[in-house]
């Protein structure tokens, strides 16, 4: 009987130790990928027809560093030349001509100072066209205060000297861009932004009409154009001086996060307006910009 009791006690102790070991075994925390691979904009004709905006952007990485951007009709290879220069070379294109070119991003202390965008388009039976755009960035108190867009070109209908096409001026209050005034193309557009009281969500600046989303390379430059907004835009109201072919008039925003607290969707509702060729206002509801990681 004593032997049986001893064996029973040993079995209980063995099971207890085994259970304790299992409980103390650390579990591995899964690695969450935070690199955006694809951004899909809404395609509804009510959302301004997305004129001039690609409905899909694709991003590729090498060891977590952005290496390739696909922005129809061009594919760009990203080259980190040094701390003050990043170059985006056109490595593939889908156009009627043969296009070569690059986008040179010049920085100082990891902040964009200016961008030079060069493209040469060659045709079999027509003169080639060379276009060169320059975007200049100005800052005040570490926030973006002005962006100026210049362009020049050679070839048919050329403009050999740089010409200012558009200027955007920013007003910042309490760590957020609360107003922009965009002047160019015979139109003055004033945008008023309101914000929530929540911490800024990474990549929320990708939203349509966001004041800090200035190009297809936002993923690359989102942390290189001065201080970001402290909070998240919840509405925009635009007013205009000049004739309008189609512009956003009002937008409200809702941000959806996935189970890993990454931005998954930006849902917008609002109105668009035009005065040419005839006055018209349209509404749109629950249109989504989607993010894939």
> 16 burial class (0-12, 13-18, 19+ CB within 10 angstroms)?
exposed
Choose between 46 and 201: higher pLDDT. 201
In order, the DSSP letters of 227-245 are: SPPSS-EEEEEEEEES--S
For 145-153, what is the mean pLDDT? 96
Beta bridge partners of 177: 172
Mean pLDDT for the chain?
88
Section 18-47 average pLDDT: 74
Q: Which percentage of the chain shows pLDDT scores above 70?
A: 87
Residue 51 has pLDDT above 90, yes or no: no
Q: Which residues contact 74 (CB under 8 A, 6 or more apart)?
A: 90, 92, 93, 99
Q: Which residues contact 203 (CB under 8 A, 6 or more apart)?
A: 36, 219, 222, 263, 291
Domains of the chain, residue spans: 32-292
What pTM did the predictor assign? 0.85
Mean pLDDT of 133-152: 97
| Whether residue 155 has pLDDT greater than 80 | no
Copy the structure tokens of residue 104.
């040179």
Task: Specify the pLDDT at position 245.
Answer: 87
CATH 2.40.160.150 fits 32-292, yes or no: yes
The whole-number pLDDT of residue 82 equals 98
Which has the minimum average pLDDT: 21-35, 96-110, 213-227? 21-35
> Per-residue pLDDT averaged across 231-238, rounded?
98
13: pLDDT confidence band, cut at 50, 70 and 90? very low
């Amino acid at each position: 009987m004593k032997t049986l009791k001893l064996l029973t006690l040993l079995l209980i102790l063995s099971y207890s130790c085994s259970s304790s070991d299992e409980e103390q075994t650390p579990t591995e925390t899964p690695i969450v990928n935070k690199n955006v691979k694809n951004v899909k904009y809404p395609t509804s004709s009510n959302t301004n027809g997305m004129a001039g905006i690609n409905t899909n952007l694709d991003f590729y990485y090498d060891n977590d560093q952005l290496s390739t951007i696909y922005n129809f009709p061009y594919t760009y290879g990203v080259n980190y030349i040094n701390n003050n220069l990043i170059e985006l070379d056109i490595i593939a294109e889908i156009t009627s001509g043969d296009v070569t070119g690059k986008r040179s991003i010049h920085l100082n202390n990891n902040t964009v100072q200016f961008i030079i965008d060069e493209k040469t388009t060659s045709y079999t039976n027509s003169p080639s066209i060379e276009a060169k755009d320059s975007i200049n960035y100005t800052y005040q108190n570490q926030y973006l205060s002005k962006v100026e867009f210049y362009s020049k070109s050679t070839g048919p209908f050329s403009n050999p000297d740089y010409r200012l096409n558009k200027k955007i001026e920013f007003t910042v209050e309490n760590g957020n861009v609360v107003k922009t005034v965009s002047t160019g193309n015979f139109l003055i557009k004033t945008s008023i932004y309101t914000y929530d009281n929540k911490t800024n969500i990474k990549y929320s600046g990708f939203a349509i009409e966001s004041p800090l989303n200035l190009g297809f390379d936002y993923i690359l430059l989102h942390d290189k154009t001065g201080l970001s907004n402290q909070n998240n835009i919840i509405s925009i109201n635009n007013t205009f001086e000049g004739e309008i072919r189609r512009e956003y008039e009002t937008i409200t925003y809702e941000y959806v996060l996935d189970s890993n607290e990454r931005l998954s969707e930006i849902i917008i509702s609002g109105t668009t307006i035009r005065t040419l060729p005839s006055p018209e206002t349209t509404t749109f509801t629950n249109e989504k910009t989607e993010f894939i990681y």
